[in-house]
Structure 1
Amino acid sequence: MPPKSKRPPQQQQHGDDEVEEPFQAVILTDSYDDRFLPISHELPKCLMHLCNIPLIEYTLEVLAITDVRDVFIVCTSHIDKIKAYLEQTNWMNPKGKLNIKIVQTPDAMSVGDALRELDARQLITNDFILTTGDLVSNIKLDKAIEAHRARKKTDKNAIMTMVLKEAARSHASRPQEASSVFVLDPQSSKCLFYEPVAALPKKSRIEISPEVLENHHQIEFRNDLVDPRVDICSVEVPALFTENFDWQRLRRDFVHGILTSDILGKTIYTHLVSEAYIAHIQNERIYNTVSMHVLNRWVFPIVPETNLKSGDDYEFMSGNIYKSRDVILSRSCIVDENVQIGAGTVIGENSRVAQSTIGRNCRIGANVTLVGVYLWDGVVIGDNCTVINSILANNVSILENTTIGKGCLLSSNVVIGPNDNIPKYSRLSLLPQPKTSMFDSEDEDQDEKDDGERVLTGDHEPVYFWSEIANDDDDIDIRNLKLDTLAYDINDLVLEDHELSESASEVGELSDEESDADSIDGAWNLNPSANAAKKSAEFKKEIALTIERSLAENHTVDTAALEITGLRMSSNGEYSDVREVVVPLVVDHVDLNNPVTSLKKVFTQWGPLIGKVTHKHDDQVHVISLLQKHCASNEALGKLFMGALQILYNIDVIEEEAVMEWYTSDISKSGSPTEIKLREKATKFVEWLTEAEEESEEESDDE
């Protein structure tokens, strides 16, 4: 459909006769890769649920608060499903702010093909925002748009502004499989050079033509930028794709081609953001990370209780728990921190849910453990089941006594069990995996053998195991694909024999300093225990710096806890490591020149922070042991032990059962002589707790 010639009322007048129309926007709903298989084989990625909302809803929310009128949603696969979903939403309302048009490109094989199709149809008539259907952000693009318009007035060759997020190398929203090197002019924000860098095999050098650096007094090499795939483009961009048929990918082909071309003479700029949250759900690991960021309120005001989807009624509760009103929880079930539960869901007796989102109308049986799990609508989990770090799509059923290992993806309507044990990283579907060109040379007998080994049968429809394979792109190393799959452990990647031999052959061609290990920050390490120790030490160092800053700047406990949570999630750190840092630092914050007053003030104010990272009974025992050990390291600190112990008890960070268990444990008795003396000092406190408990029991008997 051709665009309307009538200008919308939002057009703006600038100068004499200059009129700037609202931007158009193009949303690419296909990523043209094999991520999230087999789920993405049956459901478009833009309709996958993140915190119980289809991903495209987040993208449209960003555009709704921007100077955008016409939005072209480009669909290559699952066109009917995307169209049916949008038609039943308010986005297609003719009176709405966005004028949404669905553009069908069933023959497109890449981003380049999709943009060439847009150019052929002459749909783009002015500058536009190019993004994907899986953008999650709270950004307002006004400043980026304003900067883009200003640059075009001074640089007639400016055709694109890439919006990039500044983030540390360890930031969780950065993909592990690859990074990008940007060379920028810090004065003008012009991008001078771009090079994508895969994690494996390691790339030892980047070649830059000296001509790139001419006429620039200062340049920046940036490897700390997250690329969320949000670009502000000139109307010329689709035409440039048409003129260059070999350009398929937006960054690797288009951006790299523009910046290295001596003929085109076009320029690309960047707009860096640091405060706003912006992420592109390009793989399973980032899906997991962003889900937790939403529940931890990093994307505010995009939080569950905003109820972006019509009909939702989530309420925010302590511990980042979001519960719809129409939810039934048994009295004995445990709902830990960072959990979202959709309407109509029922959770049975003695079940535990942590770090998870549960969709609408789910049924969770008794004695079920769900940790780091994403259940979409209509999922059923039978009694005595365990599911760890997995995605279960709509209407999946897990029958009783079944365990789902970490990193699994189960596509819609799959039924598993009873009494099954699904290996970690499994991908299950009711549909067999389509054959690809890499299997064409295999004989039929071998195919049948492979298929037989990959089918799970029982009192349900056959369930097929899918393997993760690279597509026909020769540039893709299968190991890189695995690095960003859901809950993947680098040690598992190392221990696979065939890949270990490949790695060994590559390492043999390089020096130790140039091995592939360096390209993923040391994670590719043939000594897993040493690697884990190194990562733990680095994590503790970052936590210590964060807590010291919070203490020095007198942050609130909630703010400090949020920063700790962010670091722990981005580093995949353990709460035990956090406690080993926070307990000594809080003790050391006490002024020893005025110990009595300062101890009460410090532990009353900062003791709750220790409580934020202490959840179970064993955690409380750990806190007391750390307190004992640290106070025993210095005679002056030893005088603080009993006071600190009593304050932590009074503010409910530790309970009497934990004190009793610590006191009777071998750990409290087997330390240094000073530690043993501190335990002896606690004897009277323990006796008092025992007497108080006995009196309480007697009073209960009298009643």
Structure 2
Amino acid sequence: MASYSPSDGDLKAVLFADFFSDKLRPPCTDGTFCEALLPIVNVSLLQYQLEALLQAEVKDCVIICREHIKETLAKFVKTLNFDMNLHFLTNSQWLVAGDAIRELDSRGDWRPQSDFILIFPGAFFTFNLLDVVKEHRARRERSKSWVLTSCFGLRSISSSCDIARLENGQIIQYSYDRKDKIVIPGITTLTEYSSRVEIFSSLEDCGIDICAPEVLVEFRENFDYDNIRDFIRGKIDGGEGELLGNQIYGHILSGSADFACRITNMESYFYVCFAFIHRWSYPWTVERFPFKTTKYEYRRGPKYIASSCSLAWSSYIGRCTVLGENTRIDENAVIVHSVIGDNVTIGPNCHIKDSIIWSHSILKSNVRVVGSLIADNVVLNDDCEISEGCIVDSFVVVKAKSHIPHHSRIILREHPYRKETMDERVLLERMGSFNMESNLFDRNEKETTIQDESKHHCIQWQEETHKAEEDDESSIDELEEIERNESEDIAIEEDREAAELGMTPDSLAFKSSSSFSPPTERNLVRQEIKDTFQRALEEQHSPETAVLELNALKLALDVTSSHILRVIFPLLLNKLDVQEGLTQQQVTQQWILFVRHWSGVLIKFCMHSSDGMWLLKYWKEYCERLPNYRKYFSFLVQLLYDCDVLSEDWIIDWVSEEDKLNGQAVLIQQLKPFVDWLLEAEETSSENEDSISSRMEDMNQ
């Protein structure tokens, strides 16, 4: 790997602090607030970005934003005291990001003269950028044709794309936001490439690029480029890459510490916040961060409580919760799986679940908030209820006993920080001009004006809720839910404790059928385990390696072996195909090879009788739903017994229980000959033990 040379000069970065659109509005309705100031667990996104650039040894950074928010950002960065030269590039005439890049090219004093880092708006990342820069420069030393290195994550969160690249990493196809297409259009025409082509589907476009200065020249000469992705598509789709010899490298982030995501909507914002709490962004964690001045106490759960936080003795703090500095929690308040900002007051008997509350907000008594975002300086008066999927913008005061319906947005008609009051008609037109594909909701035709006790006039939109299509695997999902409730999972226990403190079962349940469903703690944990094991299956890891990865997750996420089993077993079943054209003997031979290979993983996590009972019940339900698998029901049970995954006692006890419920069931009848054999073997073993014992007694006499 090439090292830096003096000719390289100081590494520079260009950071977009502005979306140049209304993607995240609200809560970014105020003209002086931008997306770079979004708090990620009580620390602004811009702070994380600048810290990552510092670790990459960046000395100069140009921050690009629209003119009306420059003053706010300039005041904010002065408080950070970063050892970095920061410059603000603004212009009131810009319409798209490409305009800003073209102006940067015209500024000789700030224009990068060597390779530089380009950070898209909303990019959150914790991996080491310096390594990526060094690899890019090493490629540039071999060939100047490598003009761009683009970073992609394996898990798509908000900016999904498909790419095809050659064995040397060169991107030859790029398709943005086409989740319904697994095979990239046009890939069959690439037969002229002699080397192997790799296709990656549903990657996360992290919004992080390493650019050569030639990229700025390309924007100068092509005014139809609105952003850097237009440049990539222009080079690939237009054939300019081959004509001019330009090459674009696709860097795939595959390491366990390579966390990156681009915040483009509220769903991805919630994801990043709770992923940070779950420590998926390690080595950056809530309690260990280079510039953070707030001291957090880490508690098992995980829970992070600032040292200056005041907690009433009767309050309850559940799992995956962060309480900010100088926050006060009053008597009998319950907070579960939520982020509470600095200087927030939570009154008595308040219940907060799956929500994010920004700084300086006040919740008075008996307030309920479920699955919602409460911005800064909000006041929720007594007995308010904020239903799931809601957004309450800054400085809104909600009157007492108000019920905000599901998936509503509330913003002020007259904002304290706006220089001029916005007319309601203009505001409606502005809200109606959202890019709905990347925004949170579709606005309904009904608008209502709310007058509350604080003389603030608010405009509320109630969003249309779309009933989700029923999943073909609903019965299995119900079975998993029942079994999870019966397990010894810590999260379930803590939710039950919360219920004992006054929360009803309905308020504990979080089921959203809308397009915006803030991820619950359980869903996030299950998804992380699922992705890890799915990757092990696809990349053909050894069972030993898979066990190590799952055990690491078990410790990091603080879950049980039973929890992991309930995620990995369905994935294994999905790999057991019943292909047409194969005989039953051929199918069983394939199953034997596959199950024996992965049996070691199941043995590690199927440790208790309750696990074995769940596994048998799940397999039975699976066969009842899929008729093609029914004739293999008994075969797989016997195979799992032979591989020491299931014990004979578990099988016998489970069949006995099922026999009492429905002894005539076809699948139970299919399994009975095997159970009879187990019982006979157990009796024979018992007789042999008695015989041996009697002979030993005779010998002793």
Q: TM-score range by the shorter chain?
A: 0.5 to 0.7
Q: How many residues in Structure 1 have an aligned counterpart in Structure 2? A: 529
> For 1:57-96, what per-residue CA distance to the aligned partner results, in whole angstroms no more than 9, with x for missing partners?
11111111113211111111522211111122212xxxx2
Identify the residue that residue 287 of structure 1 maps to in structure 2: 269
> For 1:395-439, what per-residue CA distance to the aligned partner results, in whole angstroms no more than 9, with x for missing partners?
111112111111211111111131111122211111357243897
Greater displacement, 306-315 / 316-325: 306-315
> For 1:355-409, what per-residue CA distance to the aligned partner results, in whole angstroms no more than 9, with x for missing partners?
1111111111222221111111111112222111111111111112111111211
Identify the residue that residue 378 of structure 2 maps to in structure 1: 396
Q: Could you tell me how far apart the structure 1 residues matched to 2:612 and 2:182 are? A: 48
1:232, distance to aligned residue in structure 2 (A): 0.2
Does structure 1 residue 191 correspond to structure 2 residue 191?
A: no
395, 400, 404: which one pairs with 1:422?
404
Does structure 1 residue 135 correspond to structure 2 residue 123?
A: yes
Identify the residue that residue 692 of structure 2 maps to in structure 1: none
Does structure 1 residue 117 correspond to structure 2 residue 107?
A: no
Greater displacement, 132-141 / 270-279: 132-141
Identify the residue that residue 577 of structure 2 maps to in structure 1: none
- The question of whether the paired residues in 2 share the 8 Å contact of 1:625 and 1:668 is answered with no
Identify the residue that residue 232 of structure 2 maps to in structure 1: 255
- The question of whether the paired residues in 1 share the 8 Å contact of 2:397 and 2:452 is answered with no
- The question of whether the paired residues in 1 share the 8 Å contact of 2:532 and 2:549 is answered with no
Q: Could you tell me how far apart the structure 2 residues matched to 1:545 and 1:128 are? A: 36
Letter in 2 for 1:258: K
Cα pair distance change 1:162/1:356, threshold 3 Å: same
Does structure 1 residue 82 correspond to structure 2 residue 73?
A: yes
- The question of whether the paired residues in 1 share the 8 Å contact of 2:62 and 2:86 is answered with yes
- The question of whether the paired residues in 2 share the 8 Å contact of 1:12 and 1:19 is answered with no
Identify the residue that residue 590 of structure 1 maps to in structure 2: none
Correspondence 1:48-67 to 2 at 5 A:
48-67=38-57
Letter in 2 for 1:108: W
Letter in 2 for 1:78: I
- The question of whether the paired residues in 1 share the 8 Å contact of 2:173 and 2:184 is answered with no
Q: Could you tell me how far apart the structure 2 residues matched to 1:147 and 1:544 are? A: 26
Q: Could you tell me how far apart the structure 1 residues matched to 2:119 and 2:50 are? A: 10
Q: Could you tell me how far apart the structure 2 residues matched to 1:81 and 1:299 are? A: 28
Correspondence 1:484-495 to 2 at 5 A:
492-493=465-466, 495=467
Identify the residue that residue 453 of structure 2 maps to in structure 1: 459
Identify the residue that residue 70 of structure 1 maps to in structure 2: 60
Does structure 1 residue 271 correspond to structure 2 residue 251?
A: yes
Q: Could you tell me how far apart the structure 2 residues matched to 1:637 and 1:451 are? A: 60
26, 32, 37: which one pairs with 1:47?
37
SS at match of 2:389: coil
- The question of whether the paired residues in 1 share the 8 Å contact of 2:387 and 2:406 is answered with yes
1:330, distance to aligned residue in structure 2 (A): 1.9
Q: Could you tell me how far apart the structure 1 residues matched to 2:560 and 2:341 are? A: 27
Q: Could you tell me how far apart the structure 2 residues matched to 1:164 and 1:554 are? A: 26
Task: Give the alignment's Cα RMSD to 1 decimal.
Answer: 4.6
Does structure 1 residue 528 correspond to structure 2 residue 516?
A: no
Q: Could you tell me how far apart the structure 1 residues matched to 2:340 and 2:61 are? A: 31
Return the TM-score normalized by structure 2: 0.65
Cα pair distance change 1:465/1:150, threshold 3 Å: same
Q: Could you tell me how far apart the structure 2 residues matched to 1:63 and 1:118 are? A: 19
Return the TM-score normalized by structure 1: 0.65
- The question of whether the paired residues in 1 share the 8 Å contact of 2:164 and 2:184 is answered with no
Cα pair distance change 1:109/1:452, threshold 3 Å: same
Identify the residue that residue 185 of structure 2 maps to in structure 1: 206
Q: Could you tell me how far apart the structure 2 residues matched to 1:193 and 1:297 are? A: 34
- The question of whether the paired residues in 1 share the 8 Å contact of 2:160 and 2:205 is answered with no
Q: Could you tell me how far apart the structure 2 residues matched to 1:198 and 1:417 are? A: 44
Q: Could you tell me how far apart the structure 2 residues matched to 1:628 and 1:204 are? A: 37
Does structure 1 residue 21 correspond to structure 2 residue 4?
A: no
Cα pair distance change 1:545/1:554, threshold 3 Å: closer
- The question of whether the paired residues in 2 share the 8 Å contact of 1:181 and 1:223 is answered with yes
> For 1:514-533, what per-residue CA distance to the aligned partner results, in whole angstroms no more than 9, with x for missing partners?
xxxxxxxxxxx7x4253645
- The question of whether the paired residues in 2 share the 8 Å contact of 1:307 and 1:314 is answered with no
330, 334, 338: which one pairs with 1:352?
334
Letter in 2 for 1:367: N
- The question of whether the paired residues in 2 share the 8 Å contact of 1:135 and 1:228 is answered with yes
Identity %: 23
> For 1:521-580, what per-residue CA distance to the aligned partner results, in whole angstroms no more than 9, with x for missing partners?
xxxx7x425364577799799499689999997659973435778999xxxxx9799499
1:32, distance to aligned residue in structure 2 (A): 2.4
Q: Could you tell me how far apart the structure 2 residues matched to 1:182 and 1:451 are? A: 39
Correspondence 1:566-577 to 2 at 5 A:
none
Identify the residue that residue 371 of structure 1 maps to in structure 2: 353
Does structure 1 residue 33 correspond to structure 2 residue 21?
A: yes
1:255, distance to aligned residue in structure 2 (A): 0.8
- The question of whether the paired residues in 1 share the 8 Å contact of 2:183 and 2:201 is answered with no
SS at match of 2:12: strand
1:26, distance to aligned residue in structure 2 (A): 0.3
- The question of whether the paired residues in 1 share the 8 Å contact of 2:353 and 2:369 is answered with yes
- The question of whether the paired residues in 1 share the 8 Å contact of 2:263 and 2:269 is answered with yes
Q: Could you tell me how far apart the structure 2 residues matched to 1:668 and 1:535 are? A: 20
552, 555, 564: which one pairs with 1:559?
552
215, 223, 239: which one pairs with 1:245?
223
1:118, distance to aligned residue in structure 2 (A): 0.6
Correspondence 1:472-487 to 2 at 5 A:
none
- The question of whether the paired residues in 2 share the 8 Å contact of 1:136 and 1:279 is answered with yes
Identify the residue that residue 342 of structure 1 maps to in structure 2: 324
Letter in 2 for 1:63: L
Letter in 1 for 2:185: I
Identify the residue that residue 597 of structure 2 maps to in structure 1: none
Letter in 2 for 1:285: E
Cα pair distance change 1:149/1:199, threshold 3 Å: closer
Q: Could you tell me how far apart the structure 1 residues matched to 2:320 and 2:332 are? A: 19
Q: Could you tell me how far apart the structure 2 residues matched to 1:368 and 1:558 are? A: 37
Identify the residue that residue 387 of structure 1 maps to in structure 2: 369
> For 1:270-310, what per-residue CA distance to the aligned partner results, in whole angstroms no more than 9, with x for missing partners?
22221111122222111111111111111112111124455
Q: Could you tell me how far apart the structure 2 residues matched to 1:145 and 1:629 are? A: 52
Identify the residue that residue 180 of structure 1 maps to in structure 2: 161
Q: Could you tell me how far apart the structure 2 residues matched to 1:628 and 1:307 are? A: 45
Letter in 2 for 1:259: I
SS at match of 1:223: strand
Q: Could you tell me how far apart the structure 2 residues matched to 1:406 and 1:429 are? A: 17
Q: Could you tell me how far apart the structure 2 residues matched to 1:372 and 1:205 are? A: 37
- The question of whether the paired residues in 2 share the 8 Å contact of 1:410 and 1:428 is answered with yes
1:54, distance to aligned residue in structure 2 (A): 0.3
Does structure 1 residue 223 correspond to structure 2 residue 198?
A: no
Gaps of 5+ in 2: 414-423, 434-443, 481-525, 574-600, 621-636, 669-701
Letter in 2 for 1:376: W
- The question of whether the paired residues in 2 share the 8 Å contact of 1:37 and 1:427 is answered with no
Cα pair distance change 1:395/1:531, threshold 3 Å: farther
SS at match of 2:52: helix
Q: Could you tell me how far apart the structure 2 residues matched to 1:86 and 1:60 are? A: 10
Correspondence 1:302-317 to 2 at 5 A:
302-317=284-299
